[in-house]
Amino acid sequence: MISIEEKLYIGGEWSAPVSKKKIDIFSASTGEKIGIVPEASQADVDAAVAAARKALHSKEWGGLNGAERGLILNRFADAVEKRGNQLAKSVSMQNGMPLIMSEQLESGFVVGMLRYYAALATSLVDEERRQSPLGFSTLVRRERIGVVGAIVPWNFPVALSIMKIGPALAAGCAVVIKPSPETVLDCYILAEAAEEAGVPPGALNWVPGGRDIGAYLVTHPGVDKIAFTGSTAAGRAIAQECGRILRPVSLELGGKSAAIILEDADLGSFLQAIPSVSMLNSGQACFSCTRILAPTSRYQEVVDGVASVISSLPIGDPLEPSTVVGPMVTSAHRDRVESYIAKGKTEAKLVLGGGRPKHLDRGWYVEPTVFAGVSNSSTIAQEEIFGPVITVIEYKDDSDALAIANDSQYGLGGSIWTPDIERATNLARKLETGTVGINGYLPDFNAPFGGVKASGLGRELGPESVSAYQQYKSIYLMG
């Protein structure tokens, strides 16, 4: 049991929270209470925003150039790398992500991202002089946007925080991060890393809390931009508030991505990739390809192959190195997933799973589940289930596959499987989505990641992400 009762990391210091309220942290795999942390109050958020504003105007942070910020980001990467195992374990203990995944995605991937942003900070060009067609010249400046309110979910708590912290610090912003109440212990490890790395006071601050504290941060007068990852419903509510007060906002939201298996695909390589492409974090990943589109000629072969691979995936304790499928994050979330499975039983043919694993008598587990004979218009094909539930949908030809894949309110990920890269690339160009993988799927640090339609607004990752934390200023040099 980890008890962090009396401290919040605000303004580069461990300060006592104003509120006496606490957040209990539970293990998704046992249901037991494993930690207790303070819940930030509005007064704590006020203090964090004030510290961030102060940092913007301080010599130690606001006075640095890109190269100097790059050095700090690199030191932060070193300190995070030292704590890589601790971070991965902490995430797995809380949200139930299998350790083999958290070791990569919540640890190694995160350090890589920080180093990427360190290099980017060093190469940023802040000012460009342009000749105006009107006869004078103009200095075009890219200035940091200011204080960023970052709100993240529980499914990849570290990576999704760093996807905001990296570009924001590269641009010279200061950040107030509100983690999800299900996953807060990892934040304390990141805060210790920031302290050890000498991240200047106020550049990074954490305010653990629920929706109310998130909503308070969204409209806080001292915040200049909101960077949100979470559900489409919450994203819409946040966008509405940001629209009302004209506050820049970027939104990484839900998804219901399609994996299109072309008739010449090497099915074996797709099946091998299923744990990462369609079942990542036990299906609790926004870009998971949970709609598998199979051609009529190979439909049964795909259904049988998918069911056979999924039935063989080890399910159990996320801290066991062999585990590939862990629990759902909370019992409430398991209820939600199970209600979709119940709905699916009325809409399609249940091929595998559908219940709770018999050998696990505690924790929030759901059997990996496969539905066949699924219509793309059914609820289980249209709504984000966010659990280990796969639908296999039949298509006639490439244009039918494209129409089915695009017939979704979402547009975040997707994948196409075929040895014919040109054909796949042409199809990828026509998919209404922010990212597509060909014969695999993995977000690239050096390329924009994000969604279209109900999957969000704006992009993270890649050099493009830094501009989301900057604003332009034009200085007309007229005399």
Task: Candidates 4-12, 136-144, 253-261, 368-376: pick the segment binding ligand NAD (CB under 6 A).
Answer: 253-261
Which residue in the set 86, 104, 231, 409 belongs to the binding site for ligand NAD (CB under 6 A)?
231
Which tokens sit at 23? 């957040």
Residues in the chain: 479
Active site residue 347: no
Concatenated DSSP letters of 385-439: --SSEEEEEEESSHHHHHHHHH-SS--S--EEE-S-HHHHHHHHHHS-SS--EES
Helix, strand, coil shares of the chain, percent, nearest 5, are: 40, 20, 40
Instruction: Measure CA 259 to chain center.
Output: 20
- Rounded CA separation 198/235 (Å): 33
Strand (E) positions, 161-243? Answer: 174-178, 204-206, 225-229
180 sits near ligand NAD (criterion: CB under 6 A):
yes
DSSP class of residue 268? Answer: H
Which tokens sit at 276? 């990462």
Asked if residue 433 lies in contact with residue 414, where contact means CB atoms within 8 angstroms, the answer is: yes
364 sits near ligand NAD (criterion: CB under 6 A):
no
Which residue in the set 101, 187, 227, 234 belongs to the binding site for ligand NAD (CB under 6 A)?
234
458 sits near ligand NAD (criterion: CB under 6 A):
no
218 sits near ligand NAD (criterion: CB under 6 A):
yes
Annotated catalytic residue: which of 252, 338, 367, 460?
252
Which tokens sit at 458? 């704006």
172 sits near ligand NAD (criterion: CB under 6 A):
no
Element (H, E) at 134: none
- Rounded CA separation 209/211 (Å): 7
210 sits near ligand NAD (criterion: CB under 6 A):
yes
Active site residue 252: yes
Work out how close the CB of 278 gets to ligand NAD at its nearest, in angstroms, rounded to a whole number.
14
Nearer to ligand NAD, 66 or 214 (CB): 214
Nearer to ligand NAD, 180 or 465 (CB): 180
Beta bridge partners of 175: 148, 204
Asked if residue 213 lies in contact with residue 178, where contact means CB atoms within 8 angstroms, the answer is: yes
Which residue in the set 172, 214, 344, 387 belongs to the binding site for ligand NAD (CB under 6 A)?
214
Work out how close the CB of 433 gets to ligand NAD at its nearest, in angstroms, rounded to a whole number.
11
Which residue in the set 120, 168, 199, 253 belongs to the binding site for ligand NAD (CB under 6 A)?
253
151 sits near ligand NAD (criterion: CB under 6 A):
yes
468 sits near ligand NAD (criterion: CB under 6 A):
no
281 sits near ligand NAD (criterion: CB under 6 A):
no
153 sits near ligand NAD (criterion: CB under 6 A):
yes
441 sits near ligand NAD (criterion: CB under 6 A):
no
Work out how close the CB of 227 gets to ligand NAD at its nearest, in angstroms, rounded to a whole number.
11
> In a 3-state reduction of DSSP, which class is residue 246?
coil
Alpha carbons within 13 angstroms on the beta-carbon side of residue 397 total 1
Q: Which stretches of the chain bind ligand NAD, using CB under 6 A?
A: 151-156, 160, 178, 180, 210-211, 214-215, 218, 229-231, 234, 237-238, 252-255, 286, 384, 386, 412, 451, 455-456
**Active site residue ranges:** 252, 286
